Amino acid sequence: MTVSTQIRVRYAETDQMGVVYYANYLVWFELGRVEFLRALGFDYSRMETEEQCILPVVEASCRYRAPARYDDQIRIEAFPLLLRGSVLKFGYRILRESGDASTLLAEGETVHVVCDPSMQRRTLPESVTEKIRSAVAEHAATNK
């Protein structure tokens, strides 16, 4: 399962050269991840407050393929790659949309350890686990 989110590059996200500043791709990864969870029926802020469950990033990587620029229409794709115990890994693709064509701008991953608010490792609630495992399997089957 892949969830797509569309945004337009804002001027504040660019550097002096008119290119999107590299760290903003990680912000876009977060946006994609939150929208992925929302598409599964989970509100991340409610997971934090009601389920006492947070997902700190413990590793992040990004491979830059082409520059994004001010006012580009981009699509953020987010998908789950792994759920093992309290470790959760997401993948991302950032694409520029231009007419009928898409250009891959960046791709990457984030790894999370499921924790309680005191940063002690825990597992995801079973309702969340089932849906994410199903989404991992669906993504793996469609991307062989």
Catalytic residues: 15
Q: What distance in Å separates the CA atoms of residue 109 and residue 89, rounded to the nearest whole number?
A: 7
Q: Where does residue 122 rank: exposed (0-12), middle (13-18), buried (19+ CB within 10 A)?
A: middle
Q: What distance in Å separates the CA atoms of residue 33 and residue 78, rounded to the nearest whole number?
A: 6
Helix (H) or strand (E) holding 31: helix 24-39
